[in-house]
Amino acid sequence: MKKEDIPTHWVMDYETLCNCFIAVFEHYKDDAISEIFIINEDQNDFVKFINFLQKCINTNQWHISFNGLAFDAQISQHLLKNRSKLANLSGLELATYIHKLAQTIIDKSNRGEFQEFAPKQIKIRQIDLFKMNHWDNKAKMSSLKWIQYSMDWGNVEEMPHHHSKPVENSQQLQDIISYCINDVKSTKKILEHSKEQIDLRKTLTNEYGIDLYSASEPRISKEIFLYFLEQKLGWQKSEIKTLRTPRSRINLGDCILPYVKFQTPEFQRIYEFFETKVVKSTKDGFKYTLDYKGVKTDYGLGGIHGAAPAGVYEAKPGWTIVTSDVTSYYPNLAIKNKFHPEHLPQKEFGDLYEWFFEERKKIPKTDPKNYVYKLILNSTYGLTGDENSFLYDPRMTMQITINGQLLLSMLYEQLSLAIPEAIPLMQNTDGLEMMIPTSEYSKYMDVCAQWEVMTQLNLEHDEYSKMVIADVNNYIAVHKNGKVKSKGKFEWEDLEKKKVGIFHKNKSFLIIPKAIYAFFVNGIDPKDFLAQNRSIYDYCGGVKAKGGWYYEHRSLEQGNIVTKKLQKIVRYYVTKSGTKIVKCHPDGREMQVEAGQWMQKVVNKIDPSIPYDHYDIDTDYYLENIEKQIEQINKFKVSSSTQLTLF
């Protein structure tokens, strides 16, 4: 394909300052094709800029951005709509106008108000990577700077010039343009990491006639479910969207399935707790802790979570670690027990929900529809507790989560009674792990089969050779076939592979979980591992200031402490000859980012040509943290000679 034949879509970003407007566009595939527009006192590219935007509309050239729907696209559409009256303004007047417009847009966003233009009113087609990856969600909220840090972008420096201060010379202007170009190029890298997600949205948009290019996964679930529900019920989509069943109080006892029963006093008490508990909404938090066979298990609105004490649990000869998960647990609980939002007919809702489950089984995992149906099945539970969803009925949320915990507890209890030697290791939302004598494997499966008949649910089983447990949320599980699953603070592979779905997480000091993994899985000494790993990014940590807090860099120069305020997001590493980074609050509170003797160096800009040895990394810091975590786990190690006397 010739260069001129490549479809022209643009990765873009705007900078709006009080006396200067900058727009940078780069071809989504070809780095050599770019456009830069400047509007200020000395240069007025307004007409060229408007002509460019109009050409994008006429020739279906898309804009790809980070938070474009709520900001950049609002500016584009406003300027296009008002081009006639704005064309007569001077460059400075235009820049001032656009800056005020930008502040209005930001203020509306901060107040949670609707913007001037809904997505359907924006003439230039958009892909908003911020919304698509759900980084506007409270649990995943992430700025472009944070995503740059997460994907090991070389330059994570913030804007060198505050928007409220005038740009006074060509050097300042060039610095801002360079900053904007860096943001565009990093957005382009996010686009590359998001290829599978965009391909999926393209397929769905074409099939269902709904623009889902910038849709988050929860919104995809909602829109596709609504699409099928409209057809199933024969109701208007607009009517369905308004439906809700709010509850002033929910008696959890009324939610419990009739066949839920326990044999031991410990589990009977948890049943009684739920039977008498009343909640007013799914936001009501509660917690009940059960101690059974040495394992503390927590119950609450979020599901069941319990794990054996921290340690290495290894299946020595004659022993097996079995892991059993309920297939599509929460969706099947609803399907088999006919749970449904009260405002929707049970049969039609249940039939459709089950149809998604059965259809998914027929579709290869390589087909995007398989993933979409999985999203719909898993997201429906969450949507029943979302006040903004047409599936909202918190009683259904409670029916699923309460019975989910109690039924898994029944299996846990039944297995423990049937196999007294069994060592329970973990229970977590939709499954459990147990170490059992290999001779009792058939009995284990018999108990599971009886549970499946009673509940009409299916279990999937596998075997581990070893589990390295810190707690219920942080563990390493080694399958008998050698495959390894890491969770929580031990996760590193997806972060290293730059999986866009976890860019919101904090990848600080990735060298630590990698070294712990190497030790427990491959038997590599941490000192040897550190000596082999020479990636500066693996040794970097990241912090971000929130809620009035800010960071300071403090160094000792000629006997005096020199203080410098840092940007909101700081990337740093621990070095033998550095300074101190301190987290500060206007009320006087302070805390060191790394307490004690450890010194840090800020590296918001990393030059790939600089050799690793240049950084003077203090490997003692990393080694101490690695060995401390290993020691906390190894202090309780299960072997074939001790496992029968632990509990």
List of residues 6+ apart from 185 with CB closer than 8 A = 26, 31
Q: What is residue 290's predicted lDDT score, i.e. its pLDDT?
A: 93
- Whether 581 has a pLDDT exceeding 70, the answer reads yes
Average pLDDT (36-57) is 98
Q: What is residue 7's predicted lDDT score, i.e. its pLDDT?
A: 59
Task: Give the C-alpha separation, 141 to 119, whole Å.
Answer: 21
pTM beyond 0.85: the answer is yes
Average pLDDT (620-646) is 72
* Residue ranges of domains in the chain, CATH in brackets: 3-213 (3.30.420), 250-490 (3.90.1600.10), 522-619 (no CATH)
- Residue 245 and residue 341 in contact, taking contact as beta carbons nearer than 8 Å: yes
Q: What is residue 481's predicted lDDT score, i.e. its pLDDT?
A: 93
Q: What is residue 416's predicted lDDT score, i.e. its pLDDT?
A: 97
The string of pLDDT tens digits covering residues 403-417 is: 999 999 999 999 999
Among residues 7, 9, 49, the alpha carbon closest in space to that of 184 is found at 9
Residue 354 burial class via C-beta count within 10 angstroms: exposed 0-12, middle 13-18, buried 19 and up? middle
Average pLDDT (297-321) is 93
Q: pLDDT grade, residue 637 (50/70/90)? A: low
List of residues 6+ apart from 212 with CB closer than 8 A = 201, 204, 205, 219, 220, 223
User: Read out DSSP for 267-317?
Assistant: HHHHHHHHHH-EESSTT---EEEEEETTEEEEEETT--EEEPSSEEEE--T
Q: What is residue 4's predicted lDDT score, i.e. its pLDDT?
A: 47
**b/e sequence 182-197, b meaning 16+ C-beta within 10 Å:** bbbbbbbbbbebbeeb
- Residue 494 and residue 504 in contact, taking contact as beta carbons nearer than 8 Å: no
Average pLDDT (542-568) is 92
Average pLDDT (341-350) is 96
Task: Give the C-alpha separation, 197 to 70, whole Å.
Answer: 20
Helix residue ranges, H only, 141-169: 144-150
Segment holding 320, helix H or strand E: strand 319-326
What share of the chain has pLDDT > 70, as a percent? 97
The string of pLDDT tens digits covering residues 482-532 is: 999 999 999 999 999 999 999 999 999 999 999 999 999 999 999 999 999
Phi, psi of 374, deg, nearest 5: -65, -45
Average pLDDT (3-17) is 80
DSSP strand pairing (10-17 vs 63-65): parallel
Average pLDDT (526-546) is 96
Helix residue ranges, H only, 13-156: 46-58, 72-81, 83-86, 91-110, 129-132, 144-150
User: Cα 292–294–300 angle (5° rounding)?
Assistant: 50
- Whether 556 has a pLDDT exceeding 90, the answer reads no
- Residue 353 and residue 342 in contact, taking contact as beta carbons nearer than 8 Å: no
List of residues 6+ apart from 274 with CB closer than 8 A = 252, 253, 256, 299, 402, 406
- Whether 8 has a pLDDT exceeding 90, the answer reads no
Q: Helix 217-233 crosses helix 195-208 at what angle (to 10 degrees)?
A: 20
Q: pLDDT grade, residue 267 (50/70/90)? A: very high
Task: Give the C-alpha separation, 80 to 49, whole Å.
Answer: 10
Residue type, 61: Q
Task: Give the C-alpha separation, 266 to 262, whole Å.
Answer: 9
> What's 400's DSSP letter?
H
Task: Give the C-alpha separation, 149 to 154, whole Å.
Answer: 8
- Residue 108 and residue 115 in contact, taking contact as beta carbons nearer than 8 Å: yes
The string of pLDDT tens digits covering residues 122-138 is: 999 999 999 999 999 98
* Assigned token pair, 432: 């459990």
Q: pLDDT grade, residue 636 (50/70/90)? A: low
Phi, psi of 437, deg, nearest 5: -60, 135
* Assigned token pair, 173: 């202007």
What share of the chain has pLDDT > 90, as a percent? 91
- Whether 322 has a pLDDT exceeding 60, the answer reads yes
Q: What is residue 647's predicted lDDT score, i.e. its pLDDT?
A: 24
Q: What is residue 3's predicted lDDT score, i.e. its pLDDT?
A: 45
Average pLDDT (247-267) is 95
The string of pLDDT tens digits covering residues 474-493 is: 999 999 999 999 999 999 99
Q: What secondary structure, in 3-state letters, does 96-119 show?
A: HHHHHHHHHHHHHHHCCCCCCCCH
- Whether 2 has a pLDDT exceeding 80, the answer reads no
Q: pLDDT grade, residue 365 (50/70/90)? A: confident
List of residues 6+ apart from 118 with CB closer than 8 A = none
Segment holding 173, helix H or strand E: helix 170-193
Q: pLDDT grade, residue 285 (50/70/90)? A: confident
Task: Give the C-alpha separation, 479 to 481, whole Å.
Answer: 5
Q: How many helices (H) and strands (E) does the chain have?
A: 20, 25
The string of pLDDT tens digits covering residues 93-108 is: 999 999 999 999 999 9
> Between 8 and 406, whose confidence is greater?
406
List of residues 6+ apart from 546 with CB closer than 8 A = none
Task: Give the C-alpha separation, 6 to 26, whole Å.
Answer: 13
365, 371, 404 from 221: Cα distances, Å? 17, 11, 22
User: Cα 449–452–455 angle (5° rounding)?
Assistant: 150
**Could you tell me how many residues make up the chain?**
647
State the average pLDDT for the chain: 94
